[in-house]
Amino acid sequence: MSLFSAFQLGDTVLRNRFVMAPMTRSRSPGDVANALTALYYTQRASTGLIVSEGTPISREGQGYLFNPGIYTPEQIAGWRLVTDSVHSVGGKIFAQLWHVGRVSHTSIQEGGKAPVSSTSKTAEGAFAFGYADNGEPGFVSTSQPQALSSEAVGRVVRDFAQAAANAIEAGFDGVEIHGANGYLLEQFLNPKVNDRTDQYGAQNLDNRLRFVFEVVDAVCQRIGAGRVGIRFSPYGQLMDMPLYDEIDQTYSALCAGLGERGIAYVHVMDQTHFFLRAETAVAREDALKALLVSCRKGLKSTRLILAGDLTLQRAQALVASGLIDLAGFGQPFIANPDLVARLENGWPLAVANKDTYYGGGAEGYIDYPPYLG
């Protein structure tokens, strides 16, 4: 049960049970991973599994400038540089496949087209990282989307499958489908956002789940279920995702369907501590544990990762209790490339400079040293 021992995750053997969670860093000019990207991930490759920053599956799926995609030959070659470097030091890395849906802006879309979604409703209060009216890059309010036709939904499913194949060509050990944080998959899942009347609409649970399962099935068919994971953020309200009564039922049914498909893992981003309407920390922890129990029940051999607000002690307790299999850490990896060694040896953790989280160059990206004693 030790977090520091090897672990079998689908088709991939990990050196430990720690996962570096996906984090947008916006440091890829031309939306192509480069040598700086390779060094950043390689410095952190002592973790069991790295999940890459969100990598758009298409130009349409992009909502932020300077993030490396996975849909052109140049992008595949850029990621190959990263994966070769990570593998050279014994690391494992999955690509997070990303379509932002309505969380985009016309300045990012090809030909200035509207973003696409399950709906034509704008993500109120949400921002993309595109070009302002003066032509300078920056945060801009999301544009009104166009609802995908039933036929176009099928095309997006195929885009996910092709992106997965591209990721394997680029040397990734597998892929994680981004179904969290208010992006496209969640725009279909949430009945207060999804206002469709076709087979993907919110009239019933099966319809709301259909798009997610079609994406998963298409990706599994292309690269094998043992190399596929998916990320969710139940109770999250990011990007104008309102809470709804059927949240627990929705994710319980999702996990049951994913367990039947035998994918490698489900990755839950814990946002209950920030968004769940509960009065005490104990109530929020109880809600999270109830969610994990519900998800675990349907997963069968599919593994469960939890990320968000974890400490070593909390992660160890959750693994020991059987609620989760692996522990995901995000921001601590920014300033601590050797995070696993620091946690194992009780060494102090460095604090990251938040001003350098997004954009820029080497500063705040690859210049954090390992612990030197």
Domain ranges in the chain are 7-326
175, β-bridge pairs: 95, 228
The pair of structure tokens assigned to 175 is: 């892929």
CATH number for region 7-326? 3.20.20.70
Active site residues: 183
Beta strands, E only, 59-136: 93-98, 116-117, 127-131
Nearest to 44 by CA among 333, 264, 368, 254: 333
Using CA atoms in the order 233, 239, 245, 248, what is the torsion angle rounded to 10 degrees? -10
The angle that helices 205-223 and 247-261 make with each other, rounded to 10 degrees, is 30
**Digits of tens for pLDDT over the chain (373 positions)?**
799 999 999 999 999 999 999 999 999 989 999 999 999 999 999 999 999 999 999 999 999 999 999 999 999 999 999 999 999 999 999 999 999 999 999 999 999 999 999 999 999 999 999 999 999 998 999 999 999 999 999 999 999 999 999 999 999 999 999 999 999 999 999 999 999 999 999 999 999 999 999 999 999 999 999 999 999 999 889 999 999 999 999 999 999 999 999 999 999 999 876 555 556 777 778 888 888 998 999 999 999 999 998 999 999 999 999 999 999 999 999 999 999 999 999 999 999 999 999 989 999 999 999 998 7
Give this prediction's pTM. Answer: 0.96
